Structure 1
Amino acid sequence: MKSCQYKLLILFICIVGSQSVLAQVVDTLCVSDPTGDYHVDGWPGSTFEWIVPDGQITRGSGSDSISVTWNSTPGTYPISVVETSANGCIGDTQYAQVLIIDPPNLQISGPKRVCEGDTAQLTASGGIDYVWNTGDTGAVVTINPTTSQTYSVVSNTKCGNDATNYGITVKPKPVFSIEINGKKFICEGEQTQIVASGDATEYFWSSLGWGSRQKVTKNGTYEVTAYLDGCEAFDSVTVGECRNLIPYNTFTPDGDGINDKFEIDKIEYYPNALVEIYNRWGDVIYKSTGYSNPWDGTWNGTPLPVGAYYYVIDPKDERAEKISGYINLIRR
């Protein structure tokens, strides 16, 4: 009779790993008492290897709960743990950090003087969480003071509380104005003067240089920066392009459609211009506001004789000057 032999195969499947992962920062301690307790939930029968390079395990080495006394220098320190099951399976390393802090010793940095209307940033340091008297939170606050005032910040931590103040002086910006001292509209070859005046100590024109008074020979917009005790203000002035009237000196009202009327170049820019024409005896033979109906050499519908006639043209606009002269009427 044959006997049967059986072999029993026992298969172990490793399922191991801490059932709860350590958080990124698991503890915040004070330099005056840098001792903390740490725990992970593992499997029954497991052992735990804790790695604490900047501290000393004072209780529970090899277990799922330990106590550590840390380096008393403020900083962020790593802590990690590896679980090994009763069957010898090794889990993933779990990492975390411990923060060691001083009691808050607050300081505020930033400008001590701010120009009226400008913004500035104040930065708090020496704490962890910050609350400003403006209602803002965080280390950095943006301010826009209208008067000189004091800003304060507080920080409350498990290692103590602190508060500090910071005074800001608001300085006025320069007040000034710009005038054109001369022609407000210039033609090619002409010049005028622009002048900045006020309580500023210095003036800088972006295209002209330093000085309150500048001579300009081109039309355009000129920008100036005024300075007073570290504060600045800006303004600009525009010198316009002139459009001087150019009357023709001769016309031939003979009905051939060529040069039949007294033409004035650029008169279309001046709809309110007053045009008057006189004969040799001083009689007004033509008068018009605007020049939509140019003079055709007649007076009350009657053709006038050849000769020189005196005109006066007032553009009623500062872009051009009032002019006068003679127009020759010629008939062929």
Structure 2
Amino acid sequence: MIISILLYSISSNKAYTTEKIKIFEKTLIFSKNDTLKSNIKRNSKIITFAINPPVIKAQGNQLFCPQNSINIVTGITITHDITEPGTTAVYIQISSGYSHGFDKLELSNPTLHPSIVTSWDITAGKLKLSSPTGVDVSYSDFEYAIKDVIFLNSSTTASGTKTFSITIGQANFLPSTGHFYQFVPNIGITWTQARVAAENSTYYGLKGYLATILSADEAKLSGEQASGAGWIGGSDTETENVWKWVTGPEGLENNGSGTIFWNGLSNGTTPNFAFWNNNEPNQTGDEDYAHITAPGVGIPGSWNDLSNTGSSSGDYQPKGYIVEYGGMPGESPIEIAASTQITIPEAIITSQNPICDLGTVTLTATSNSGTITWYDAAVGGTLLGTGNTYTTPMISTTTTYYADAGCEINRKTVVATVNKTPEAPIVLSSVSRCGTGTVTLQATSNIGIINWFTTPTGGTSVYTGNRFTTPNVSANTTYYAEASNNGCDSNRTPANIIFYTPPVVSDEEVVLCENQAVILDAKISGMTYRWSTGETTQSISVSNSGNYSVDVTSQNPENCTSTKNITVLKYEKPIIKNIDVNNRSITIHLTNAKNYFEYSIDGLNYQTSNAFYDVAGGLQSAYVRAKDNVCNINEVTQSFIVLIFPPFFTPNNDTFNDSWEVTGMENYPEAQVTIFDRYGKLLIQLNASKMSWDGTFNAIPLPASDYWYAMKIDDTKPMLRGHFSLKR
């Protein structure tokens, strides 16, 4: 900034001297209310000069169609102090909505502006208009040039709104906040040093601070569109993983403790805006300070956490810091920047409901910029209507229309869909079912998909597809097939399931008697039969045991088959091997024991067990036969003798147990029983002629005591010994 001061001699009224006094912004800062007092004493007189910052006003909220160019302003004025008619540079930046590689600003008709050269910064999206010689260019020339600055976009799919900021200083201006942002390069500077340096910076009277980034627009302008990456004002030094803005206006909140913007430790959420890089903040070491990530590392313009010093080299070495100006308490906004914007008209299409066969369709679209016009072609074509809705004429085929929000190149396709109603499905014949179970139904349609229902109208589809396997059916049942083509539904076709009850058969067991044949019978008449033997009659004769089956099939149209299984059990004639007699317990042993034999010792009462207890003494008979006397097998019998040796006797002539006698001995004519006293003295010998003992010896009654016996039946059987008591 150059101030020319002309000093006059008061006494002579002639020019005393003229000199250029250069005052740089780094030493003198101006605002609207600042007054630079330059006191020059000459003849005891004081001359005072007042210099105010320029004020920029711009107009130009316009619509823009992609692949065209447009002037960024429709009008601009720069009001300046009379002592400062010009400056060396003006900056114009796409401050929001910038599309790197597609958007561009340039000066049209550069030959009309010989005092100005341009420089385009593709990273920042910023165009610099400046003096080629370093000599100030008048504000009027800058006004004239700014009016010739145009915006261009090479993308056919460009959309949204783009904001242009026009400022005299180098700092980036963001209209949405009214703040200025500037990257200050300083390799290796620490966060604490950067904080002090930022707070010692001023910009046209605005106090600087490490940037606090509260929105996506701020993040993009101060990160992705900045000329470098550096420190910002976030820290979690107070509480680990609770990140706060500790600089600027946000740093003054909550009694100076700062404003939380990310609290990943306690709740895993981001309470306010944050733009961390992938897997950040990672809290490695003492990484307590926020830094905009180096270009090429992860998400452009995003943040990572570093220690106060960062790395000594590489991507994580601090390269500088981002200073933000504006918003501090007591500051008035300055007007060294202005903004305009363009909006790319875009139609927003509302989903259209299709129609069936023939009718009209009401199409709906809205615009971000004004009124929708409707056409029948993507380019050119006939204007059909104006407004957010358009009702087509009667149509019978799908027809495409186009919604134009203001740019022909941006017309959106809107399809009025006409779907054909399918013909009623063809069901592939009725299906019968023998017995409870599932059935597979099939149907076809000329278009669309098949839905199956349990009712002729209404209800909910139970299956979708041409082949439907039903749940179990146990009675005549009808399902209904409906063809659906994107909401256009046919009439329903019934699919009948005829339920038949199969022949009722039951499995059985049949006894085949030894050396005989047995008749097997399906036991249901009027059917067709197929035996496992190959025979086809209702009954067959077999002479071998085993498993047999017969398929019993009902007559047409049912043709239901049930299978009867018959087990043929062969019964043999029992053969007694021996009979074990143990006192009054006996066991009948067979040489061919089977589970179908039953046993008896009286010929009347039979049991499945071959063991008997408390059998009466004397000659007995054992009986063995097939259960229930099946096969009319004659009972097999065998006699046996049960000998009972009384354990005591009482010879007192009361008629009860007056003598000792071996029951059953009579069945052994040769048997002899010898009785001894306890000393082995022979007292008496019993045989077929004398069967009992009265307790005397030589007619003299013997005393009560225990006596011993030895019984010899014959020479083929073992001697039987024991003892008994005589009681008086």
TM-score, length basis structure 2:
0.30
Is the alpha carbon distance of 1:81 and 1:197 closer, same or farther for their aligned partners in structure 2, counting shifts above 3 Å?
A: farther
Counterpart in the other structure of 1:302: 618
Counterpart in the other structure of 2:607: 290
**8 A Cα contact 1:199 1:228, kept in partner:** no
* 1:125 to partner: Cα distance: 5.5
> Could you tell me how far apart the structure 2 residues matched to 1:220 and 1:62 are?
88
> Could you tell me how far apart the structure 2 residues matched to 1:208 and 1:97 are?
71
How many equivalent pairs are there? 295
> Could you tell me how far apart the structure 2 residues matched to 1:186 and 1:51 are?
93
Counterpart in the other structure of 2:97: 13
Counterpart in the other structure of 1:38: 363
2:600 to 247, 250, 275: 275
Is the partner of 1:316 in helix, strand or coil? helix
Matched, 1:132 2:458: no
> Could you tell me how far apart the structure 1 residues matched to 2:375 and 2:545 are?
81
Whichever residue aligns with residue 617 of structure 2, its letter is: G
Is the partner of 2:361 in helix, strand or coil? strand
* 1:316 to partner: Cα distance: 1.9
**8 A Cα contact 1:108 1:166, kept in partner:** no
Of Structure 1 and Structure 2, the greater helix share is in 2
State the structure with more CA Rg.
2
Of Structure 1 and Structure 2, the greater strand share is in 1
Counterpart in the other structure of 2:102: none
**8 A Cα contact 1:249 1:328, kept in partner:** no
* 1:6 to partner: Cα distance: 2.6
Q: RMSD of the alignment, in Å?
A: 6.0
**8 A Cα contact 1:274 1:316, kept in partner:** no
> Could you tell me how far apart the structure 1 residues matched to 2:556 and 2:388 are?
67
> Could you tell me how far apart the structure 1 residues matched to 2:547 and 2:489 are?
61
**8 A Cα contact 2:548 2:567, kept in partner:** yes
**8 A Cα contact 1:28 1:101, kept in partner:** no
**8 A Cα contact 2:571 2:626, kept in partner:** no
Q: Which has the higher contact order (CA 8 A, sep 6+)?
A: 1
Is the partner of 1:38 in helix, strand or coil? strand
Is the alpha carbon distance of 1:41 and 1:274 closer, same or farther for their aligned partners in structure 2, counting shifts above 3 Å?
A: same
Matched, 1:194 2:510: no
Counterpart in the other structure of 1:4: 87
Is the alpha carbon distance of 1:244 and 1:78 closer, same or farther for their aligned partners in structure 2, counting shifts above 3 Å?
A: farther
Is the alpha carbon distance of 1:156 and 1:135 closer, same or farther for their aligned partners in structure 2, counting shifts above 3 Å?
A: same
Whichever residue aligns with residue 324 of structure 1, its letter is: E
Matched, 1:316 2:631: no
Counterpart in the other structure of 2:549: 222
Matched, 1:100 2:456: no
Is the partner of 2:368 in helix, strand or coil? coil
**8 A Cα contact 1:185 1:242, kept in partner:** yes
Cα deviation digits, residues 178-232 of structure 1 (max 9, x gap) = 687xx81348998644333546553345x55572445664534736341422421
**8 A Cα contact 2:511 2:568, kept in partner:** yes
Cα deviation digits, residues 163-186 of structure 1 (max 9, x gap) = 577595957545455687xx8134
Whichever residue aligns with residue 114 of structure 1, its letter is: S
Within a 5 Å distance, the mapping from 1:85-234 to structure 2 comes to 98-102=417-421, 105-107=423-425, 109-112=427-430, 114-115=432-433, 121=441, 132-133=455-456, 136-138=459-461, 146=475, 170=498, 172-173=500-501, 175=503, 177=505, 184-186=510-512, 192-196=518-522, 198=524, 201-204=527-530, 207-208=532-533, 211=536, 212-213=538-539, 217-220=544-547, 222=549, 224-231=551-558, 232-234=560-562
> Could you tell me how far apart the structure 2 residues matched to 1:160 and 1:254 are?
94
TM-score, length basis structure 1:
0.55
**8 A Cα contact 1:115 1:170, kept in partner:** yes
Counterpart in the other structure of 2:353: 27
Cα deviation digits, residues 18-59 of structure 1 (max 9, x gap) = 786654xx33224344x5342232321699999999xxx865
Is the alpha carbon distance of 1:44 and 1:262 closer, same or farther for their aligned partners in structure 2, counting shifts above 3 Å?
A: same
> Could you tell me how far apart the structure 2 residues matched to 1:63 and 1:161 are?
33
Is the alpha carbon distance of 1:324 and 1:83 closer, same or farther for their aligned partners in structure 2, counting shifts above 3 Å?
A: farther
**8 A Cα contact 1:108 1:164, kept in partner:** no
Cα deviation digits, residues 69-94 of structure 1 (max 9, x gap) = 79846xxx6969899887x9x89x88
Is the partner of 1:44 in helix, strand or coil? coil
**8 A Cα contact 2:357 2:418, kept in partner:** no
**8 A Cα contact 1:250 1:329, kept in partner:** no
What runs of 5+ residues in structure 1 fail to find an aligned partner?
A: 278-285
Is the alpha carbon distance of 1:51 and 1:145 closer, same or farther for their aligned partners in structure 2, counting shifts above 3 Å?
A: farther
Matched, 1:237 2:565: yes
2:576 to 237, 248, 255: 248
Whichever residue aligns with residue 607 of structure 2, its letter is: G
Counterpart in the other structure of 2:9: none
Is the alpha carbon distance of 1:8 and 1:49 closer, same or farther for their aligned partners in structure 2, counting shifts above 3 Å?
A: farther
* 1:241 to partner: Cα distance: 3.9
**8 A Cα contact 1:176 1:199, kept in partner:** no
What runs of 5+ residues in structure 2 fail to find an aligned partner?
A: 3-21, 23-85, 99-158, 161-344, 642-715, 718-728
Is the alpha carbon distance of 1:294 and 1:107 closer, same or farther for their aligned partners in structure 2, counting shifts above 3 Å?
A: closer
Q: Percent identity?
A: 12
